[in-house]
């Protein structure tokens, strides 16, 4: 599933073409994605001007004139791909929703597995939406810090890795970037979450922010179906320190143990048992 850096990369690519332009035509090619699309979906979007594109956690927020927002989640393998007006690219059977801008640019929502989601929400109720209302702080926002992270983890007796995957603790983190952040913070994924306090919490918050910023700068990590809105691949997978590198030497570490792989809550975790405590 695309994580925060992948979604932010897509958002930035779409914003360059969508902001300030009208949705001249909307093609709804099926009645549902993961859930049914809202009533009169096409009629409610056609002719609307895109004011700006935002993001909350792993959700893209297309703010429209008239006080409503199109909420988009890419799901497991969803993509929003830009197609230039001059390009003659045949429609894919999994192009379930197509947005045609006033300059002829198409944004095709392609989702073979149909785990994606779209909804239209009034702006004044946006952050009360069932998909957004319980999300934790944005890890790249000004409200995120060591003390905030310590407070969110306080009293939790679950492993640290599992706690960080809980979107109510920190919004937008997934398996890849939690593993990477824990490595750079020097914290074991097995550590009880509630023990991360003071300098440890500061270290972890800084590592999370740094890893996410570097991943966004690299265009995200390309796994399976993920591509940027432009159709290009991301490159952060080439900078992974531990994720997917079981048995390899730990970068910057003098230990001879190598990177270990374990399974936590059904998900693979990668870490250095010497460096991460």
Residue 137 maps to a domain: no
For 139-162, give the secondary structure using H, E and C: CCCCCCCHHHHHHHHCCCCCEHHH
Q: How many domains does the chain have?
A: 2
Mean pLDDT for each consecutive 10-residue tract of the chain (277 residues)?
A: 86 92 97 96 98 97 98 91 87 95 94 95 97 97 97 97 97 94 97 98 98 85 47 54 91 84 93 93
Residue 201 maps to a domain: yes
The model's pTM is 0.91
> Is the same domain home to 114 and 47?
yes
Do the Cβ atoms of 187 and 203 come closer than 8 Å?
yes
Residue 189 maps to a domain: yes
Q: Label residue 244 left, alpha or beta by phi (over 0 means left) and psi (-120 to 50 means alpha).
A: left
Note the pLDDT of residue 257.
82
Note the pLDDT of residue 234.
45
Note the pLDDT of residue 222.
45
Residue 88 maps to a domain: yes
> Is the same domain home to 199 and 240?
yes
> Is the same domain home to 54 and 91?
yes
Residue 239 maps to a domain: yes
Please report, for the domain that includes residue 94, its CATH number: 3.20.190.10
Please report, for the domain that includes residue 162, its CATH number: 1.10.8.50
> Is the same domain home to 150 and 232?
yes
> Is the same domain home to 76 and 117?
yes
Structural domain boundaries, residue 167: 146-271
> Is the same domain home to 122 and 164?
no
Q: Can you name the residues that pair with 121 across neighbouring β-strands? A: 69
Residue 53 maps to a domain: yes
Residue 134 maps to a domain: no
Which residues are designated catalytic?
A: 2-3, 58, 267
Residue 277 maps to a domain: no
């Amino acid at each position: 599933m695309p994580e925060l850096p992948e979604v932010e990369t897509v958002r930035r690519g779409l914003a360059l073409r969508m902001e300030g332009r009208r949705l001249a035509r909307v093609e709804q090619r099926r009645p549902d994605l993961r859930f049914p699309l809202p009533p009169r979906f096409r009629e409610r979007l056609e002719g609307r001007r895109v004011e700006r594109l935002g993001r909350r956690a792993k959700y893209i927020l297309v703010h429209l004139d008239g006080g409503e927002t199109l909420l988009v989640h890419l799901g497991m393998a969803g993509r929003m791909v830009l197609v230039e007006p001059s390009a003659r690219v045949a429609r894919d059977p999994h192009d379930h929703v197509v947005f045609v801008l006033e300059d002829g640019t198409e944004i095709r929502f392609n989702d073979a597995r149909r785990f994606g989601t779209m909804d239209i929400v009034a702006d004044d109720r946006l952050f009360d939406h069932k998909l957004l209302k319980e999300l934790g702080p944005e890890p790249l926002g000004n409200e995120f810090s060591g003390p905030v992270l310590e407070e969110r983890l306080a009293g939790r007796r679950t492993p640290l890795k599992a706690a960080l995957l809980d979107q109510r603790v920190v919004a937008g983190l997934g398996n890849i970037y939690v593993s990477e952040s824990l490595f750079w913070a020097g914290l074991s994924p097995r550590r009880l979450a509630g023990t991360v306090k003071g300098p440890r919490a500061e270290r972890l918050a800084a590592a999370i922010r740094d890893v996410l910023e570097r991943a966004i700068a690299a265009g995200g990590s390309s796994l399976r179906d993920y591509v940027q809105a432009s159709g290009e691949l991301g490159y952060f997978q080439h900078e992974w320190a531990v994720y997917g590198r079981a048995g390899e030497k730990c970068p910057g570490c003098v230990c001879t143990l190598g990177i270990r792989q374990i399974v936590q809550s059904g998900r693979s975790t990668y870490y250095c048992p010497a460096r991460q405590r």
